[in-house]
A = this chain, B = another copy of it.
Amino acid sequence: MRVCYVVAMVAEAKPFIERYGIKEVEGFFAPLPCRLYEGEVKGMTLNVVLNGQQNGSDLVGCEAATVATLSAIQRLKPDLIINSGTCGAFRANGAGIADVFIGNGVMFHDRRVPGDDAWGTQSLGNYAVWEGSQALAEALGLKMGKVTTGSSLDMQPCDLDMIQRHGGELKDMEGAAVGFVCSLLHTPILYVKSVTDLCDGGAETFEEFSRNLGKACEALKVANEQVIDYLTGQIRVV
A interface vs B, CB < 8 Å?
A: 31-33, 54-57, 59-64, 66-67, 70-71, 108, 110-115, 117-119, 121-123, 151-154, 156, 158, 177, 180-181, 183-186, 206
Interface pairs A-B: 6 shortest CB-CB: A57-B118, A112-B152, A66-B66, A111-B151, A114-B206, A63-B66
Complex contacts, A63 vs chain B, CB 8 Å: 62-63, 66, 177, 180-181
Complex contacts, A66 vs chain B, CB 8 Å: 62-63, 66-67, 70
Which residue of chain B has the shortest Cβ distance to A115 in the bound complex? B206
Contacts A60-B119, A63-B66, A63-B180 hold; do A186 and B31 have CB atoms under 8 A apart? yes
Contacts A/B (CB < 8 Å), 7 sampled: A32-B184, A32-B185, A54-B184, A57-B117, A63-B66, A64-B180, A70-B71
C-alpha gap A152/B108 in the complex (Å): 11
Nearest chain B CB to A66's CB is how many angstroms away? 4
Complex contacts, A154 vs chain B, CB 8 Å: 112, 114
Complex contacts, A113 vs chain B, CB 8 Å: 60, 152-153
C-alpha gap A24/B70 in the complex (Å): 23
Further pairs besides A54-B183, A66-B66: 12, Cβ < 8 Å? A31-B184, A32-B184, A33-B184, A56-B118, A57-B121, A61-B123, A63-B177, A66-B67, A66-B70, A112-B151, A112-B154, A113-B153
C-alpha gap A67/B70 in the complex (Å): 7
Cβ 8 A contact of A67, one of B111, B156, B181 = B181
Q: Are A153 and B67 in contact (CB under 8 A)?
A: no
Cβ 8 A contact of A110, one of B115, B152, B183 = B152
C-alpha gap A156/B109 in the complex (Å): 13
Nearest chain B CB to A212's CB is how many angstroms away? 16
Q: Are B112 and A55 in contact (CB under 8 A)?
A: no
Q: Are A153 and B118 in contact (CB under 8 A)?
A: no
Q: Are A110 and B151 in contact (CB under 8 A)?
A: yes
Which residue of chain B has the shortest Cβ distance to A181 in the bound complex? B67
Complex contacts, A60 vs chain B, CB 8 Å: 113, 119, 122-123
C-alpha gap A185/B71 in the complex (Å): 13
Nearest chain B CB to A187's CB is how many angstroms away? 10
Q: Are B153 and A151 in contact (CB under 8 A)?
A: no
Q: Are B185 and A31 in contact (CB under 8 A)?
A: yes
C-alpha gap A66/B59 in the complex (Å): 14
